[in-house]
Amino acid sequence: MDLRGRAVLSLNRLRVLLMLFHTMARVTAEQEVENLSGLSTNPEKDIFVVRENGTTCLMAEFAAKFIVPYDVWASNYVDLITEQAEISLTRGAEVKGRCGHNESELQVFWVDRAYSLKLLFVKEGHNTSKGPEATWRLSKVQFVYDSSEKTHFKDAVTAGKHTANSHRLSALVTPAGKSYECQAQQTISLTSSDPQKTVTMILSAVHIQPFDIISDFVFSEEHKCQVDEQEQLEETLPLILGLILGLVIVVTLVIYHIHHKMTANQVQIPRDRSQYKHMG
């Protein structure tokens, strides 16, 4: 083999090695995840962290529940009855994830992989009247469930694996560089592969940041959902009104006291002229 042929062979081997190294590095990054749900004081809330190159790149805290309709046979074994299974994301779930500059992903598996949840986040730039602005959002949700699993499903007619997907989703919209926080419940509808069935995903106690995390294991400044802001205003408004009312009462009492004191110090002129001789 001539020198040129050896050089080409060596170059091809180098390319293969680089591809293998890239694949291994990517797999390692995807597997660098932690389930910190045990640190949560809320037994229904899970905490997941994805890290790449020793740095936190995605953090997610939330409680999730799925309302899944499914058919069972009626007692006459002719008609179908629709039942509902309530499936909650449990602690100790297996987690995978990956981070990118404009796209990040979180996957969670539980009950021996009978159930899995995939969340896809994207970051986008927009031109506004104030100039270019960037936001991130939840762009896709996929929930896979096994209706043959006996804990939540009882004799489902179409027992087996089903996939429920979101459609044109744009949720949790947040300015770039901030985390999203919402304690209130939020619902997302998912279309199931089980014919004519819609799965409802209920999220609560949410705190998520899939991009631009500056400090390890620390969320950036929160962007609160409108529902939380309204509830906070409703809780604060009575206190503000009470303080204003109390201030008005205090000011009124002070004015009354000053007026009463000034009036008491004035010389009273008698209306009966016979009393004038006693003056001076």
Mean pLDDT of 166-185: 96
Say if CB 149 and CB 114 are below 8 A apart.
Answer: yes
Q: What's residue 101's pLDDT?
A: 93
Residue ranges in the chain assigned as alpha helix (H): 3-31, 226-265
Same domain, 214 and 231: no
- Cα dihedral 85, 88, 89, 92 in deg (nearest 10): -110
- Structural domain count, the chain: 2
Q: Quickly state the pLDDT bin for 193 (edges 50, 70, 90).
A: very high
Same domain, 142 and 218: yes
Q: Is residue 169 part of a domain?
A: yes
Same domain, 156 and 231: no
Same domain, 177 and 67: yes
Same domain, 229 and 216: no
| Nearest C-alpha neighbor of 175 from the set 222, 135, 125 | 135
Q: What's residue 115's pLDDT?
A: 98
Tell me what percent of the chain is helix, strand and coil, each rounded to the nearest 5. 30, 40, 30
In the numeric block, the tokens 């100790």 are attached to 92
Same domain, 86 and 179: yes
Same domain, 234 and 127: no
CA distance 109 to 118: 9
Structural domain of residue 232, as residue ranges?
225-255
SS3 114: coil
CA distance 65 to 204: 9
Q: Tell which wins on pLDDT, 232 or 163.
A: 163
Q: What's residue 126's pLDDT?
A: 84
Q: What's residue 24's pLDDT?
A: 47
Least confident of 31-35, 93-97, 202-206, 266-270: 266-270
Q: What's residue 15's pLDDT?
A: 56
* 53: its two tokens: 């190159």
Same domain, 160 and 235: no
CA distance 248 to 240: 12
Least confident of 121-130, 231-240, 250-259: 231-240
- Asked if pLDDT for residue 277 goes beyond 90, the answer is no
Same domain, 212 and 148: yes
Q: What's residue 29's pLDDT?
A: 47
Same domain, 63 and 76: yes
Q: Quickly state the pLDDT bin for 129 (edges 50, 70, 90).
A: confident
CA distance 59 to 34: 10
- Cα dihedral 263, 266, 272, 276 in deg (nearest 10): 170
Same domain, 142 and 230: no
Average of per-residue pLDDT values in the chain: 83
Q: Quickly state the pLDDT bin for 20 (edges 50, 70, 90).
A: very low
Q: What's residue 28's pLDDT?
A: 45
Least confident of 22-31, 132-141, 271-280: 22-31
CA distance 37 to 69: 28
CATH number at residue 96: 2.40.160.110
Same domain, 33 and 138: yes
Residue 210 makes CB contacts below 8 A (sequence gap 6+) with 57, 58, 60, 99, 104, 106, 121, 136
Residue 2 makes CB contacts below 8 A (sequence gap 6+) with none
Q: Please spell the DSSP secondary structure of 175-190, one letter per residue.
A: ETT-EEEE-S-EEEEE
Q: What is the largest CA-CA distance in the chain?
A: 144
Q: What is the pLDDT of residues 213-230, one digit of tens each?
A: 999 999 999 999 998 666
Q: What is the pLDDT of residues 38-90, one digit of tens each?
A: 888 888 899 999 999 889 999 999 999 999 999 999 999 999 999 999 999 99
Residue that is last in its domain, among 173, 203, 223: 223
